[in-house]
Amino acid sequence: MSQRSPGDWAPLDPTSGPPNPFVHELHLSRLQRAKFCLLGALLAPIRVLLAFIVLFLLWPFAWLQVVGLTEEQLQEPITGWRKTVCHNGVLGLSRLLFFLLGFLRIRVRGQRASRLQAPVLVAAPHSTFFDPIVLLPCDLPKVVSRAENLSVPVIGALLRFNQAILVSRHDPASRRKVVEEVRRRATSGGKWPQVLFFPEGTCSNKKALLKFKPGAFIAGVPVQPVLIRYPNSLDTTSWAWRGPGVLKVLWLTASQPCSIVDVEFLPVYHPSPQESRDPTLYANNVQRVMAQALGIPATECEFVGNLPVMVMGRLKVALEPQLWELGRVLRKAGLSPSCVDAKAEPGRSQMISQDEFARQLQLSDPQMVAGAFSYFHQDTKGLVDCRDVALALAALDGGRSLEELTCLAFELFAEEQAEGPGHLLYKDGFSTILHLLLGSPRPAAATLHAELCQAGPSQGLSLCQFQNFSLHDPLYGKVFSTYLRPPHAPRGTSQISNASSPGSPTALANGTVQVPKQKGD
């Protein structure tokens, strides 16, 4: 059995092999840098200033449309002079705003369907905060937005003007209400304007489509796919999870002499009876149609919390587990995991504070201690389980085979059976192991544990069952091998992995490499 080296841990390389849709790198030549410095100093400030002036001019029109109307009246589409004057005013000023930011041309292909033909529009890929430009050729359809955005100056007024469907992250009943409202508007027989969704739910780098969320497809009505392209020589607009920030994207785009946007309306997609009953199936099929039209992969990648994950069978795994980042932090500190004794006792939870954590890992830099400590799950008192630290260090050590590592994981988190001899791995321990080693969200891991236990009489997994799952299962065995034994890189060289090898997790997700495989809105 081959051994792993601590130097083997490396992030994804998005520049080769199957694309990582969450990473955008902008490489500029010296001439391009000089051009951006010049135009960024002369053109960008003027453009941004004028655009913000126009943005604030939008507020009176947005306010005028809803002023004096009750909440009950706002539950129906606005008509009459309010609709005519305010709608045309907002539409014209919005086009001027994007023109001032450098979007001189919006090229439209295809034919937009009527609200009766397609009550719902789905736009992709969602790659930037400039994507609302797609609302202009769609005649300002209704949108879905976070309720928290109502408190943002001007933006909140525009959302009220739009009669947007609002979802709150803090209200458990909010999502159910949104589903009901989407269904009510989509089935109104053309009474309501179309509703536009970005079904990916977050921004990517345009190189692949993220997994579509089912919200746009719950009503089971026909939808019209809308493709967004930015066919410019330099991609300054992408705002991905890892890449240029808001201000840099805004500055670089405003520094371009001319930016072009292509909006393409595909034929209306009519769901089958099965798709009408199954929003997830409907979403997946529309995603594939749009990916084929764009010429890019349709992936199972999505965001869970604040981390990008991909779906592998019945499990969700992080594209870049926090364990890898912890390894980089420890290497930066010059610390070898094999030299640390976490003093964890198998089967017993022992909580430690941040100070005890620093002593065990022999770390003295407060900032580095806080960073490393944050990678572990903390209880309400801010303590972490010593077993979590022990397993993470063992995985980073590289001195154990996969069999030995999974055996250690089982010993640390397995509990005595309530009835009968031996130990079993229950839901919490199983979820912790997968969260630490693969970056799997705990709810997804708990669901998989319940499915694995259905085949047996108990609610826990034996060591044999756990290793059959983690080492010998055709899919999950490859996942563990990918994340715990990445492609080797010589010590002292760059720690960026060769993602073009058959061992990239993105290759696993896209299904583009033959076995054996290894790998924010």
Same domain? For 151 and 258 the reply is yes
List, for residues 215-269, the tens digit of each pLDDT value. 899 989 999 999 999 999 889 999 988 888 899 999 999 999 999 999 999 999 9
Residue 3 has pLDDT above 90, yes or no: no
Mean pLDDT of 157-165: 92
Helix pair angle (30-66, 246-254), 10° resolution: 100
Model pLDDT, residue 419: 65
* Number of domains within the chain: 2
Same domain? For 284 and 404 the reply is no
Model pLDDT, residue 265: 97
In 275-297, which positions are buried (b, 16+ CB within 10 angstroms) versus exposed (e)?
Answer: bbebbebbbbbbbeebbeebebb
Same domain? For 271 and 337 the reply is no
Same domain? For 291 and 331 the reply is no
Query: How confident is residue 492, by pLDDT bands cut at 50, 70 and 90?
Result: very low
- Torsion angle defined by CA atoms of residues 239, 245, 246 and 250, in that order, rounded to the nearest 10 degrees: -80
Q: Which residue has the tokens 């031996």?
A: 422
Provide the whole-model pTM: 0.77
Same domain? For 80 and 149 the reply is yes
Higher pLDDT, 504 or 155: 155
List, for residues 408-436, the tens digit of each pLDDT value. 999 999 888 766 667 889 999 999 999 99
Residue 187 counted as domain residue: yes
Same domain? For 186 and 229 the reply is yes
What residues pair up with 145 in beta bridges, in sequence order?
166
Helix pair angle (427-438, 386-397), 10° resolution: 40
What residues pair up with 146 in beta bridges, in sequence order?
167
Q: Which of 2-6, 28-32, 89-93, 226-230 has the lowest mean pLDDT?
A: 2-6
Residue 198 has pLDDT above 90, yes or no: yes
CB atoms < 10 A from the CB of 456, how many? 12
The domain in which residue 404 lies consists of: 318-484
Residue that is last in its domain, among 484, 499, 516 = 484
Contact criterion met (CB below 8 Å) for 387 and 413? yes
Same domain? For 222 and 251 the reply is yes
* 391/412 Cα distance (integer angstroms): 8
What is the total residue count of the chain? 521
Same domain? For 349 and 420 the reply is yes
Query: How confident is residue 312, by pLDDT bands cut at 50, 70 and 90?
Result: confident
Q: What tokens does 92 get? A: 């014209």
* 298/291 Cα distance (integer angstroms): 6
Residue 37 counted as domain residue: yes
Same domain? For 151 and 236 the reply is yes
Contact criterion met (CB below 8 Å) for 261 and 284? no
Residue 96 counted as domain residue: yes
Same domain? For 132 and 168 the reply is yes
Residue 157 counted as domain residue: yes
Residue that is last in its domain, among 299, 332, 361 = 299
Model pLDDT, residue 455: 66
Model pLDDT, residue 340: 61
The single-letter DSSP state of residue 123 is: E
Contact criterion met (CB below 8 Å) for 197 and 121? yes
Same domain? For 293 and 342 the reply is no
Residue 78 has pLDDT above 80, yes or no: yes
Residue 329 has pLDDT above 60, yes or no: yes
Q: Which of 197-206, 392-401, 453-462, 501-510 has the lowest mean pLDDT?
A: 501-510
Closest CA to 55 of 165, 157, 128, 163: 157
Residue 438 counted as domain residue: yes
Same domain? For 239 and 377 the reply is no
Higher pLDDT, 500 or 363: 363
Residue 179 counted as domain residue: yes
The helix (run of H) or strand (run of E) holding residue 303 is strand 301-304
Phi-psi region at 384: left, alpha or beta (left = phi > 0; alpha = psi -120 to 50): beta
Residue 278 counted as domain residue: yes
Closest CA to 213 of 160, 148, 144: 144
